[in-house]
Amino acid sequence: MGTIKLQNIRTFSFHGCLVEEAKIGSDYRVDLEIKTDLRKSSLSDELKDTVDYVLLNRIVEEEMAIRSKLLEHVAHRIIKRIFDEIPSVSRILLAVSKLNPPIGGDVEAVTIEMEEYRN
């Protein structure tokens, strides 16, 4: 097994329970780690034998562009799409952070983390 990580994927999205959040949007950070078998690609040097991180990034960006009230909901959609579209992924660790959240305090970020294994 091996690990592929996409760190600090930055998006401007419109998630949140407040009406204002749907209108003005906010900055988000996504960190993604997947487990997959990297033995074949380490020998072949061929993209077709690994998980394409361009596809992983595209899935994150497309799902982050769809409004959700909760970070948990958008994270679940990202995880589901990765498992649906990339059969070789066996585990996903995903963190979604809202930067400078509107919670009435000096808070840099609020982050949810989800870890899922393929059934």
pLDDT band of residue 100 (cuts 50, 70, 90) is confident
Q: Which residue, 42, 30, 29, is CA-closest to 3?
A: 42
E strand intervals along the chain: 2-13, 26-36, 91-99, 109-117
Degrees (nearest 5) of the Cα angle 110, 114, 118? 165
CATH of residue 12's domain is 3.30.1130.10
Mean pLDDT of 39-67: 97
pLDDT band of residue 5 (cuts 50, 70, 90) is very high
**In the 8-state DSSP scheme, what is residue 16?**
S
pTM of the model: 0.94
- Which domain, by its residues, includes 92? 2-117
For residue range 69-92, what is the model confidence (pLDDT) as tens digits?
A: 999 999 999 999 999 999 999 999
Residue 68 has pLDDT above 90, yes or no: yes
E strand intervals along 14-101: 26-36, 91-99
Total domains, the chain: 1
**pLDDT above 70 coverage of the chain, percent:** 100
pLDDT band of residue 2 (cuts 50, 70, 90) is very high
Residue 31 pairs with which residues in a beta bridge? 95
